[in-house]
Structure 1
Amino acid sequence: MAKGFSRIDDPKHAGKPTQAKPNGLYKVYFKGMVSEDPLAVAGLGIAICGEKDDVLFQMKTPIFGSYVTELEAELRALKRARSDRSLGLGDKSYLNLLRLSTYLQISVSYSCFTEITGKSVLEENMSGMLLNEVQHIRGKFASCLPIFVAPNDIRYVYKLARETIVYETRIQVDAQKTTCAICLDEDINADQMFSVDKCGHWFCSECVKRHIEVKLLEQGFVRCPQHRCKSKLTFTRCAYLLTPKLQSIWLQRIKEDSIPVSERFYCPNPRCSALTSEKELWKSTREAGVRRCCGKCGEPFCSRCKVPWHSNMLCDHYKRLHPNPTENDRKLKALADEKMWRQCGMCQHMIELSQGCIRIKCRCGHEFCYQCGAEAGRCPHGHGPDPRKVRPLPMWLHILSWVIFLGITIFGIWY
C-alpha cells in the first residue's frame, strides 16, 4: 500500500455518490473475480473514494460471457470503474479530475499490472481489446497512476465481487438444462459443461474428455472439438477431466513438442526410454568423454553410439564389432513388418494406420505415403501430388479454353 493511503476494509459510507470537488484526488479500488467451479461465474466490485478514503460510490455486478479469464475480469472491472456512464455518476466533471490514483490487486499473476503499465504485450484476443479500451479511458484524465497492492488492501471490493459470484452461482445452478453440441444430449446441467478458453465453444465434460483422449492416443493436436475451430486446449484447463495416465501422456507430449526433432534423445535402456534433449544431455553430468547417465533410470550409456555404455571399449571399436542393428532393433523391425507399421523418414517415429487415407502426416510435420514410405506427392499412390504444391493454370489459358469451347458450340449450332 502506498504511504498515506489507508485501507478501505470498513468504508465510512457507500451507495449514492457524495458531492466531491472535481479537482481533488480520487482513488479507485476494484476487483474482478472468476469462480473456480465448472460454472466459471465472474463478478466485479468497485469502490471510488475521496482523499480521506470516504466512499463516494460502490458497485457490484456480474460479468456475462461464455468464459471469462481472471485477467479479463480485472480489465473489465477497471474499464467499468473509469467509465462515468457505467458508474452512473451523471456529472461529467469527473472526467476533468487532475489526478486519479488506481489501486490494483492481481490474485493470479502480475500480468494485469505489467500490461496496463505497458511492460508487456497482449495477444489479439478479448484481453487485448479490453486493454486498448482501458488505455483509451486513461487518456481522458490529467493523471492516472496504476499502483500494485496486496490482497488485504482491497478486502472491501473483494467482498463485493465475492457476493456477486455467490449470488450468480445460485441463479445458474437453478437454471434450465443445456444441450451439448457433440452428443446432442438436452438434459445436461450447466455445471457439467466445459468451455474452451479462447473461442468460447462449450460442450459436455464427457465429450471433451473423450475428444482429448482420442487426440492424445493418435498423436494429434488437442484443439477445440468445434468443426474447423483452431483454438488449442491447454493442459492446465483440462487436467481435472483426465485420468493420471492421460495427464502423463499430455505432459510427455508437451515436453516432446518443446524439443526440436533433431535434438531429441531417448534413453537406450528398453525399460526406460526417457526423453531429453541433446543440449540437456551434455549438461546433465560432469563426466568427461561420451559416457552419460540417464536422469530417470540412472543407467549409463554412450551419447555417441546411442547404446548402453560399452565399458573398456572405444566407440570405433564398438561399431566394428557391432556393424549390424542390435537385437532389440531387429525385434522392433520384425514387429513393425508384422504389424505393417511405417517409420517416418524425418524423425524415425513408428506409425500405425488404423483407418483413413494412406497420406500420413507425422507429429513432426513430415507428410509421406504409408504404402511405400516416400514423401507425399512423389509416388503414384494415394491422392497424387500435394495440392499446395500444384501450380494453377495461367489466366490466359483459362480464357483460351473458353474461347475454343464457345467457338465450337456456335459452329455446331450454325451448321
Structure 2
Amino acid sequence: MGCNHSYCKNCIVKYISSKLQENISRISCPVTGCNGELEPQNCGSILPNDVFVRWGDALCESMILVSERFYCPFKDCSALLIDECAGENKVIDQSECPECRRLFCAKCKVPWHSGFVCEEFDKFNNDERVIEGLQLMQLVKNQEWQRCPSCRMYVGRSEGCAQMKCRLEF
C-alpha cells in the first residue's frame, strides 16, 4: 500500500530513523493526508545499511505477538526470544538462549534455578537469586533452616526445644 510521493533523500532517511527510534515499524508516508505506507524494499537503496537492517528487524519483531516474545534474562545478552508454548501448559522447564547459550527457566523466564520450583525461586530476594545465593538456598532447603523474623539471618535447630531467641535481642 505504497504511494508515489517523492522525497528528499536526507529528509526521508531522517524521517524513517526517527520513526524507528520511536519504535514504530509500520511507517506511513510523511505527506499530510496520504494514507500510503513506506516499504523497506522501496527505500533500501537510499537508507544506510544499519537503518535498513533495524527497520527489517523492527518489522519482524512487530509480527510476533507481544504475549509470545520475551528477552533473554541475562542482562549482558537480552536477545529477543519467542515463547513457542505461550498459553499452553508447559512441560519444558529448562531452555537455552540460542544467543548466549546459557540456561534459563522456560516457565518463569529467569536464569535457571536448579533444585527450586518457580514458586520457591519467586520468593527469593535479589541477593539469593545469584549463583552463590542459589547454593545457599539449596543448603537452607536441605538443612531445613528458617529465617529469623527479626534479623532475617538463617537459623537451624541442632537440639533442644523449638523456641529460638534472636541473637540481636540480647
Q: Matches of 2:10 and 2:65 in 1, distance apart?
A: 33
Aligned length: 124
- The letter for the 1-side match of 2:10 is E
Q: How big is each residue's C-alpha offset from its partner over 1:225-265, in whole Å with a ceiling of 9 and x where there is no partner?
A: 21121211112222222223323321221122101122221
Larger relative strand fraction: 1
2:95: which partner in 1?
292
Structure 2 counterpart of 1:238, from 43, 53, 70? 43
Offset at residue 202 of structure 1 (A)? 0.6
1:218: which partner in 2?
22
Q: How big is each residue's C-alpha offset from its partner over 1:62-105, in whole Å with a ceiling of 9 and x where there is no partner?
A: xxxxxxxxxxxxxxxxxxxxxxxxxxxxxxxxxxxxxxxxxxxx
| TM-score after normalising by structure 2 | 0.62
The answer to whether the aligner puts 1:313 opposite 2:122 as a matched pair is no
Q: Matches of 2:124 and 2:7 in 1, distance apart?
A: 59
Matched residue of 1:210: which SS?
helix
Q: Matches of 2:79 and 2:119 in 1, distance apart?
A: 26
Matched residue of 1:208: which SS?
helix
Where does 1:182-331 land on structure 2 (aligned, <5 Å)? Answer: 198-220=2-24, 221-279=26-84, 289-322=92-125
Q: Matches of 2:79 and 2:35 in 1, distance apart?
A: 31
Q: Give unmatched runs, 5+ long, in structure 2.
A: 131-170
Q: Matches of 1:295 and 1:315 in 2, distance apart?
A: 22
Query: Measured at CA, do residues 280 and 232 of structure 1 come closer, stay the same or move farther in structure 2, by a change above 3 Å?
Result: farther
Of all paired residues, the percent bearing the same amino acid is 33
Where does 1:79-118 land on structure 2 (aligned, <5 Å)? Answer: none
Q: How big is each residue's C-alpha offset from its partner over 1:331-363, in whole Å with a ceiling of 9 and x where there is no partner?
A: xxxxxxxxxxxxxxxxxxxxxxxxxxxxxxxxx
Q: Matches of 2:126 and 2:102 in 1, distance apart?
A: 23
Offset at residue 323 of structure 1 (A)? 8.3
Q: Matches of 2:125 and 2:106 in 1, distance apart?
A: 16
Q: How big is each residue's C-alpha offset from its partner over 1:185-225, in whole Å with a ceiling of 9 and x where there is no partner?
A: xxxxxxxxxxxx73211112221111111111112341112
Q: Give unmatched runs, 5+ long, in structure 1.
A: 1-196, 282-287, 328-415
Q: Matches of 1:322 and 1:290 in 2, distance apart?
A: 21
Matched residue of 1:279: which SS?
coil
Query: Measured at CA, do residues 300 and 248 of structure 1 come closer, stay the same or move farther in structure 2, by a change above 3 Å?
Result: farther
Q: Matches of 1:272 and 1:245 in 2, distance apart?
A: 20
Where does 1:114-133 land on structure 2 (aligned, <5 Å)? Answer: none
Offset at residue 320 of structure 1 (A)? 2.5
Q: How big is each residue's C-alpha offset from its partner over 1:127-182, in whole Å with a ceiling of 9 and x where there is no partner?
A: xxxxxxxxxxxxxxxxxxxxxxxxxxxxxxxxxxxxxxxxxxxxxxxxxxxxxxxx
Q: Matches of 2:77 and 2:33 in 1, distance apart?
A: 38
CA RMSD of aligned residues (A): 2.6
Q: How big is each residue's C-alpha offset from its partner over 1:8-43, in whole Å with a ceiling of 9 and x where there is no partner?
A: xxxxxxxxxxxxxxxxxxxxxxxxxxxxxxxxxxxx
Q: Matches of 1:271 and 1:280 in 2, distance apart?
A: 25
| TM-score after normalising by structure 1 | 0.27
Offset at residue 268 of structure 1 (A)? 0.9
Q: Matches of 1:255 and 1:238 in 2, distance apart?
A: 17
Q: Matches of 2:36 and 2:52 in 1, distance apart?
A: 20
Q: Matches of 1:238 and 1:297 in 2, distance apart?
A: 33
Query: Measured at CA, do residues 261 and 305 of structure 1 come closer, stay the same or move farther in structure 2, by a change above 3 Å?
Result: same
Offset at residue 314 of structure 1 (A)? 2.1
Matched residue of 1:276: which SS?
strand
